[in-house]
Amino acid sequence: MIIGIAQLNYHIGNFEKNISKITQAIEEAKQHGVDLLLFSELSVSGYPPMDLLEREGFVNKCYHGIKQIAAHCDTIAAIVGGPLKNPEYEGKNLFNSAFFLFEGEIKEIINKSLLPTYDIFDEDRYFEPNKDFGIINFKGKKLALTICEDLWDQQEFETDFGKSHIYSISPMEELAKFKPDVILNVAASPYSYLKEGSKRDIFISKAKTYKIPVFYVNQIAAQTELIFEGGSMVINQKGEIYDELPFFEEEVRFFDLDKVVSQKVLRTENEDRSIIENIHNALVLGIRDYFSKMNFKKATLGLSGGIDSAVSMVLASRALGPGNLKVLLMPSQYSSEGSVTDSVKLAENLGVEYEIIKIDPIFSSFKEALHPSFGDLPEDVTEENLQARIRAVLLMSISNKFGYILLNTSNKSEAAVGYTTLYGDMSGGLSVLGDVYKTDVYNLARYINQDKNIIPCEIISKPPSAELRPDQKDADSLPDYSVLDQILYRYIELQRLSDRIIEDGFEPELVHKIIRMINANEYKRYQAPPILRISSKAFGSGRRIPLVADYNAI
């Protein structure tokens, strides 16, 4: 049996495009004598469709699209994903389903059993879990078809309560009773640099446990903040990686099941890439897909001479092309000469259009207008924030006049402790680095410069500063980022209590101060733009913290 994996990029709700991609892959597979072609979870609708699943018209269009695709499956079988409406079912009348198409019709339907409801996942909101298990018989082979988490039942998470399993049942344990010849897993699994290896381990473990080869297909796409890396795999019955499709690229490959079982071909090209390279590629894909799927063409951002805006600019240039980017340099009386010259050099290195608008006269006019209210009160953070908001007004004016989307350049470290200005440097239609800690922003800059100095070395080497007052440095308000980021990671990603963080060797007073800053600035993060997610705990839909709460007890 020849089994194909179609690792494609889908667009939520764009049925015409999704169906076209699927049918083109089917026609290509026919020419190669493929027996069965696999597509990822909810491929017809795009994943995650969220509350569009509550609209009957959306669900109906998915089903009609599946019927269209079935018409192409005459001499070939295909498995596609979509929602299935079952009005007669007691409970939620919608399933997350995989449709087995052959001989021009829907032959079998397998429903998802384990519905993830954690982090960014909320499938239990929409779907009913499957409770009936069975296999698909096709051309003399028994196929165990699983949908994403149905094969990941041994997942566990760690909190201060200890380790806990997410699921109490194992769909594969039920399917194993039928003695299948191959395990198929169709998934929509988002990228996280923290879980690159754990995904491989899941499939390797299942193949070893059941002594059955595993075919795993994942989409490659960015859907608003979520980024899907692909990385589809074939694992033989010994738990050896037979082949792995690349990260962040569309590709269709075909495999002879007999060769998978009998040969050892170890191909793990994705393991050769560093985490920073993968983060870089994920962010480029995230920007590109956000713009293309929203029908946006051009972007703008404020180029300050700092590391964050420099890295954001390079990523945007690579995602959209330098001709689709225009940046503003907006120096003030506090800006160093190097901030301007370094920014100009970077823009010229990339071939990006730039414009310099000095904000001194605007800042002076604002202070003059506010003088009757402020009187002779000393300048403080108010005037610092005023400069950031002036810059945001200028950038949004360019955005409005020319149709450019403003990219936000704040990093995760700043967002965590509130070292940002509402309606100022927090403005934007998409946050590029909002899930990247400052230390990794520097790592990205070094990766970008590995073959050629694109980002001027002065931008990387100088101490970080917002340049909103004389001789200002980030270190005036924050600990060194190498220390800060370690505390933030433990509190945000690992969700550790302060006592456990202190046990790791950090100063108690500093730990308590940082945690207070994180909790006190939740209101700011509620108003941030969508953040491209590259970790397992990003700010946004996957981290649900009360805005109004008493954090003193925690």
Residues 153 and 124 reside in one and the same domain: yes
Which residues, in sequence order, are CB contacts of 143 under 8 Å at separation 6+? 36, 135, 136, 137, 180, 181, 182, 184
DSSP letters, 252-315, are EEEEEHHHHHH------GGGGS-HHHHHHHHHHHHHHHHHHHTT---EEEE--SSHHHHHHHHH
Encode pLDDT of 191-212 as tens digits: 999 888 888 899 999 999 999 9
pLDDT, residue 168, reads 72
Indicate whether 83 belongs to any domain: yes
Predicted pLDDT at 372: 95
- Any domain includes 210: yes
Q: Is the pLDDT assigned to residue 260 strictly greater than 70?
A: yes
pLDDT, one tens digit per residue, over 280-295 is 999 999 999 999 999 9
Domain enclosing residue 182, as ranges: 2-273
For residues 319 and 406, state if they share a domain. yes
Residue 156: predicted pLDDT: 54
| CB atoms closer than 10 angstroms to residue 402 | 10
Q: Do residues 267 and 305 share a domain? A: no
Confidence of residue 57 (pLDDT cuts 50, 70, 90): very high
In the listed set 217, 241, 273, which residue is the last one of a domain according to the structure?
Answer: 273
Average pLDDT over residues 76-100: 90
Digit-coded pLDDT (tens) for 209-258: 999 999 999 999 999 999 999 999 999 999 999 999 999 999 999 999 99
Domain boundary among 250, 273, 296: 273
Closest CA to 207 of 172, 165, 244: 172
The pLDDT of residue 54? 94
pLDDT digits (tens, 9 = 90+) for 447-471: 999 999 999 999 999 888 777 777 7
Average pLDDT score over residue span 35-64? 97
For 338, half-sphere exposure in the C-beta direction (CA atoms, 13 angstrom radius) is: 13
User: Are 440 and 279 within 8 A, CB to CB?
Assistant: yes
Looking at the fold, whether 171 and 301 belong to one and the same domain comes out as: no
Asked if residues 329 and 300 have their Cβ atoms less than 8 Å apart, the reply is no
Same domain, 255 and 376: no
Of residues 231, 208, 206, 236, the one with CA closest to residue 221: 231
Residue 33 to residues 26, 37, 219, Cα–Cα distance (Å): 11, 11, 23
How distant, in Å, are the alpha carbons of 145, 432, 441, 542 from that of 435? 34, 8, 10, 12
Q: What is the CATH number of the domain that holds 408?
A: 3.40.50.620
Residue 525 lies in a domain: no
Question: Is the per-residue pLDDT at 162 higher than 60?
Answer: no
Percent of the chain with pLDDT over 90: 84
Nearest-angstrom CA–CA distance, 297 and 293: 10
Residue pLDDT, tens place only, 430-448: 999 999 999 999 999 999 9
Lowest mean pLDDT among 4-8, 319-323, 534-538: 534-538
Mean of pLDDT values over 349-369: 97
* φ, ψ (nearest 5 deg) of residue 301: -160, 165
Judge contact between 127 and 112, C-beta under 8 A: yes
Based on the domain organization, do 203 and 176 belong to the same domain? yes
Chain-centre distance for alpha carbon 173:
31
Select from 394, 169, 428 the least CA-distant residue to 316. Answer: 428
> Is 532 a domain residue?
no
Residue 499 placed within a domain: no
408-432 as b/e, with b when 16 or more CB fall inside 10 Å? bbbbbbbbbbbbbbbebbbbbbbbb
User: Helix (H) and strand (E) counts for the chain?
Assistant: 17, 21
Query: What does the alpha-carbon distance between residue 260 and residue 254 come to, in Å, rounded to a whole number?
Result: 11
> Is 112 marked active-site?
yes
- Span between the terminal Cα atoms of the chain, in Å: 56
- d(C-alpha 524, C-alpha 538), whole Å: 15
pLDDT at 22 over 70: yes
Structure tokens at 185: 């897993």
Is 529 part of a structural domain of the chain? no
Spatial distance between the Cα atoms of 202 and 325, rounded to a whole number of angstroms: 41
At 163, the pLDDT band (50, 70, 90 cuts) reads low
Secondary-structure breakdown of the chain: helix, strand, coil percentages, each rounded to the nearest 5: 40, 20, 40
For the cut 70, the answer to whether the pLDDT of residue 363 exceeds it is: yes
Of 21, 112, 345, 537, which one is the catalytic site residue? 112
Q: What is the mean pLDDT of residues 12-33?
A: 97
Distance (Å, whole) CA 85 – CA 56: 9
Same domain, 128 and 242: yes
User: Do 266 and 389 reside in the same domain of the chain?
Assistant: no
Pairing of strands 105-111, 94-102: antiparallel
Is the sign of the CA dihedral 108, 114, 119, 125 positive or negative?
Answer: positive
Residue owning tokens 């310099």: 356
Domain boundary at 222, 238, 273, which?
273
Contact between 426 and 524 under an 8 Å Cβ cutoff? The reply is yes
Name 96's bridge partners. Answer: 83
Q: Does the pLDDT at position 533 exceed 60? A: yes
Over residues 381-413, the pLDDT tens digits come to: 999 999 999 999 999 999 999 999 999 999 999
CA separation for the pair 76, 51 (Å, rounded): 33
156 or 513, higher pLDDT: 513
Q: How far apart are CA 398 and CA 302, in angstroms?
A: 11
Element (H, E) at 516: helix 508-520
DSSP 390: H
Q: Which of 148, 206, 438, 467 is catalytic?
A: 148
267-272, Cβ contacts within 8 angstroms, sequence gap of 24 or more: 267/241, 267/242, 267/243, 268/200, 268/241, 268/244, 269/244, 270/196, 270/231, 270/244, 270/246
Q: Which residue has the tokens 């990006």?
A: 352
* Mean residue pLDDT across the chain: 93
- pLDDT of 470 reads 79
- DSSP H helical segments within 132-240, as ranges? 171-175, 196-210
Residues 268 and 412 in one domain: no
505's CB contacts (< 8 A; 6+ apart) are none
Residues 436, 467: Cα–Cα separation, whole Å? 22
Are the C-beta atoms of residues 182 and 213 closer than 8 Å to each other? Answer: yes
Question: CA 540 to CA 354: how far, in whole Å?
Answer: 31
Residue whose token pair is 């680095």: 433
Task: State percent of the chain over pLDDT 70.
Answer: 95
Q: Supply the CATH number for residue 255's domain.
A: 3.60.110.10
Distance from C-alpha of 439 to C-alpha of 453, rounded to nearest angstrom: 19
Report yes or no on 254 lying in a domain. yes
The answer to whether residues 54 and 173 belong to one domain is yes
Question: Do 214 and 101 reside in the same domain of the chain?
Answer: yes
Element (H, E) at 343: helix 337-350
- Give the total number of structural domains in the chain: 2
Mean pLDDT across the stretch 173-188? 97
**399/332 same-domain check:** yes
Is 162 a member of any domain? yes
